[in-house]
Structure 1
């Protein structure tokens, strides 16, 4: 991917994440509205590995870290990634740097290593099984 594509993708993903969190945190959308961002769950009725992430992030933002972890352990990870990416993207924009694109490429290469990819894949798989067990 070109730098332009990386920045467009990351800015779009972070913006969409912040908008989604805002809509839920402000009560514009609630879990009672039967609105789900998960296509997999909408079609199959089975939760995906990231189901519960919105509730997890909202819980954490409300000061309930344990509740957030119980909804989905990926929530704190997503929140941290969104925050760090936002800071890096803002820094790159203000200072005309390309640090985020370099970091993205480096992370992408590291994740391709089987000693990192396999444990990450297993963690996501076990999280998925836990989501199914919890009936999210």
Structure 2
């Protein structure tokens, strides 16, 4: 069990992590730079290349980046136990699809992101306790 204040710091930290990692996906221009950088990293690590993106792939990446950035800012500005629980559920879904992609032959560049999803998902799934005398917030 963690205190509510500690839990809210985790929710805020997960929001910052998502904003930093996902912002480059939000526009076609930033994604092009990210794709080049990740391709170079994959090559340097000897784990192959990333495939070229078609306009439909780019659209999906930009939509995901835009939505996650907005979700991130909400958790940074107004962290709550409820938002942490929803984020844990979303991370479970993201982790499932990342694991599926890895099992289907996706680049090992996905692995650190999978680990972060599982870690933040677990942290936002722990029981939350209240400090004595605190009222007005709901723990879940």
TM-score by length of 1: 0.45
Greater relative contact order structure (CA < 8 Å, 6+ sep): 2
TM-score by length of 2: 0.44
Considering only CA atoms, is the larger Rg found in Structure 1 or Structure 2?
2
